[in-house]
Chain A
Amino acid sequence: MKKRGFWVNATKFCREFISKPQGRLGLIILGLFIFVAVAAPILTPYDPIDDLYLAEGMAKPAWAKVLPGNSKLPVTVHTRLGFNEWQVASGEDLHNAEEIKENAFAIKTTPGEFSKLVHDVNYKTDPPGNFHFETRYSIDASEETTTVLAFVIVDPNGKEWRLWEKKIFGSLKPQDLLIDSRQLDLKTRLGLTIFDEASKVIFAKKGQYKVLLRAYSEGEPAIITMEPVAVNIQGKLHGVLGADHMGGDLWSQLIYGARISLIIGIVAALIAVFIGTAIGIASGYIGGFVDEFFMRLADVMLSIPTMPVLIILSSLIGKNIWNVVILIALFSWTSTARIVRSQTLTLKERAFVEAARASGASKTYTMLVHILPNVIPLVFAALVLLIPGAILYEATLSFLGLGDPTTPTWGRMLHNARSFGAFTMRAWWWILPPGLAITLLSLSFVFIGNTLDEILNPRNKERA
């Protein structure tokens, strides 16, 4: 019977909520952010913190190519050259290569002859920033066999750039192969000085490039096994929102920022509301000294300048997201305590509470069983209205550089934008999205909170 009443009420409540345009709009925006937060790994392949040097620092977004002056900018390339990507170039022989698993491949050399794998690239833009190639390889050959492996780029003029070359006697256990354009020995091998940028020299021309994997053995046939080659060419155009100063992906930072902001806002508000409700009920119901103490405490909290104290405290114990959350909560409970206290004071005089008291219920029991359920709707609205404040506090602290450096937050994005030259670059794609995201998310909670308050607050009901 009671349960059914609850469902009827809940349905009525939902219908009333949906009927308010503000509530509807708030729910839609919030739903969008929740979707983004949940689907983050699908929406971006990169890790917002750990994946660095994906592109040149301050790379523009990929769509900026259509803007005037950007058409020749190099695009970042992230690809894996597996078996299917390697081909036989015209006039060359591809000797005995075969796929073994998941695009990894094996080459069986013929002694005294070159085996070549070729990948053609039509390169039409300006030289990129750094590049690197990464793979793992092993060689299976007899003791007497000598194998020479080389990684070569052939430019449109036919000039060969030998990026890597190794002579191996006999077999070799699986090894990492890393070619990075910043390596000094690479520059020396190519005849460059340490001040030259290898990528600028190699990719100076526009046209057909060839990436060449060349193997040669003497003695008996050698079997070279190689995993797909991960290619990373850092361009000046990258992804949806470009790259930050470290070549990190801004889009993934924006996407994962939704998670963090939602969690921070909700958890901080939950803690604050929990403290506020407990104090509010205790003050209102017990009264006397307890009431006086807690209300004076609330007054003192309100007299402490929040932002300065948060700055000092988070610089001392911050640098960890949960510390920041707890700090924000500790300075946000007062409003809830006030609302709950006044509601408790009216509830205290109601007949059912008097009846409970008369029949010998303990104070704790009365507070938990009779008062608490009746202040919950009010608390619920207060909770939602506290969330935007918590989100803004966290964003401001992170923006000031006092947040957790290992957590991708919107405030941190803006902090980096300000500290590392997004303004002089006029990189508005770096500055506007995180700020708009903070604004929209806060706004959605304000809308929902206002609607809840309108429906649930008894004060409004009386007026209506």
Chain B
Amino acid sequence: MNFSSYILRRVVYALIVLVVIVTINFFIFRVMPGDPVRMIIDPKWTPEMKAALYEQYGLTKPLHEQFFIYLKSLLTLDLGLSFTSSRPVMDELLERLPNTVLLLGIALFIEILIGISIGIFAASKRGSSIESFVTGAGLFTHAVPTFFLQLVLLLIFGFVIPIFPIRGTMAAPPPVGGWAQFLDRVHHLILPVFSLVVINFGSWALYTRNAMVEALGQDYIITARAKGLTKKRVLRHHAFRSILPPIVTLIFLSLPSIISGAVVTETIFSWYGVGRYLLDATMKQDYPAAQGAFYFIALATIICNFVADIVYGLVDPRIRVGGGEGK
């Protein structure tokens, strides 16, 4: 198996997942109680007017035809109009996307930086208290519900000691001037980012620590040490280098769950993002919006998984140079 056929397989696989998700998305919203048109029409309308609306939305066509129309509109990224705002769902999502990317991106960057540093440090100091700290932080990630930690932070720093804003992406009305606006954005970002970092850095630290410990036990490390290289150099240039590929892959693999988690974080901090849009739309039974947001999130997930596979292929020489079974 060479690299291009590996990519091809991954593309096909990503497409299969996409088709499954699109199909689920289509049928979920067709089997639910009530029908979408009923949500937007006035009860005073005559049956003829209702029929015209059904016609307009293509709901009189057979199901398979509706499905193909739906597929076509998804491929052209036309997600329809929101019932509640009557604006194109795609526009609404694109408007919110930068906020979500900003929040999740900054949080991910910081938690990886902190997590990996602590993980390496813990691996270099076996049996010290820093090791049990890393284990504890990893457990914390598993057992503490993110939303609970966020609520507690909100209670402490938003209400008891009100030093951070309790809701929103920026102040309303936004402050005048580029610098003031920037500071305002940062002010609103601190609490949600901090909560995500506190929850998640532990699992990065634990993973890095375990991978480092394993790497440090390898023969080539012992050789490097025997050559007289400093401990620091061996740690950085030999051991860490070797665990970098799986970590990079893991970063991409973690993106889907991070995107999933955005729903809760954005809801708690009233963040103007894609995740909260999905929940709001679901709550308001705004089906085109909910469906569109879900498609959007699922698409992002598939792309992240695909990129993770490609990165994995790139960093794993067995796949890149075409070793293994097929050669």
Minimum CB distance partner of A393 in chain B: B145
A446 and B282 form a contact (CB under 8 A)? no
B290 and A312 form a contact (CB under 8 A)? yes
A308 CB contact (under 8 Å) in B154, B159, B160, B278: B278
B159 and A304 form a contact (CB under 8 A)? no
Secondary structure class of chain B's binding surface, majority of residues = helix
Chain B residues whose CB sits within 8 angstroms of the CB of A303 once the complex forms:
17, 21, 256, 301-302, 305
A308 and B297 form a contact (CB under 8 A)? yes
B247 at the interface (CB under 8 A from A): no
Chain B residues whose CB sits within 8 angstroms of the CB of A418 once the complex forms:
151, 268
Chain B interface category by residue count? 35 or more
Tell me the A294-314 residues at the B interface (CB within 8 Å).
296, 299-300, 303-309, 311-313
A316 at the interface (CB under 8 A from B): yes
A388 and B17 form a contact (CB under 8 A)? no
B40 at the interface (CB under 8 A from A): no
Chain B residues whose CB sits within 8 angstroms of the CB of A315 once the complex forms:
282-283, 285
Chain A residues whose CB sits within 8 angstroms of the CB of B263 once the complex forms:
307-308, 311, 400
B257, chain A: closest CB distance, angstroms: 8
B143 and A388 form a contact (CB under 8 A)? yes
Tell me the B133-191 residues at the A interface (CB within 8 Å).
139, 142-148, 151-152, 154-155, 158-160, 166
Minimum CB distance partner of A417 in chain B: B151
Cα distance A388–B143 in the bound complex, in angstroms: 7
Minimum CB distance partner of A296 in chain B: B16
Segment touching B, from A81-89, A177-185, A421-429:
A421-429
A/B pair count, beta carbons within 8 Å: 118
A399 at the interface (CB under 8 A from B): yes
Cα distance A418–B159 in the bound complex, in angstroms: 12
A426 and B160 form a contact (CB under 8 A)? yes
B147 and A299 form a contact (CB under 8 A)? no
A438 at the interface (CB under 8 A from B): yes
Chain B residues whose CB sits within 8 angstroms of the CB of A446 once the complex forms:
139, 142-143
Chain B residues whose CB sits within 8 angstroms of the CB of A409 once the complex forms:
none
B20 and A300 form a contact (CB under 8 A)? yes
Cα distance A311–B290 in the bound complex, in angstroms: 10
B264 CB contact (under 8 Å) in A305, A313, A400, A442: A400
A440, chain B: closest CB distance, angstroms: 8
Chain B residues whose CB sits within 8 angstroms of the CB of A432 once the complex forms:
152
A438 and B20 form a contact (CB under 8 A)? no
A399, chain B: closest CB distance, angstroms: 5
B151 and A414 form a contact (CB under 8 A)? yes
A428, chain B: closest CB distance, angstroms: 6
Cα distance A11–B275 in the bound complex, in angstroms: 50
Tell me the A161-204 residues at the B interface (CB within 8 Å).
none
B261 CB contact (under 8 Å) in A307, A309, A414: A307
A400 CB contact (under 8 Å) in B31, B139, B267, B290: B267
Q: Mark B2-29, 1 if CB is under 8 A from A, else 0.
A: 0000000000010011001100100010
Sample 7 A-B pairs with CB under 8 A, ordered by A number: A305-B294, A311-B279, A388-B143, A396-B146, A399-B147, A431-B152, A439-B148
4 cross-chain pairs, A with B, having the tightest CB-CB distances, nearest first: A435-B148, A307-B260, A443-B143, A442-B143
Contact surface of A with B, Cβ cutoff 8 Å: 296, 299-300, 303-309, 311-313, 315-317, 388, 392, 395-396, 399-402, 414, 417-418, 423-424, 426, 428, 431-432, 435, 438-439, 442-443, 446
Contact surface of B with A, Cβ cutoff 8 Å: 13, 16-17, 20-21, 24, 28, 31-33, 139, 142-148, 151-152, 154-155, 158-160, 166, 256-257, 259-261, 263-264, 267-268, 275, 278-279, 282-283, 285, 290, 293-294, 297-298, 301-302, 305
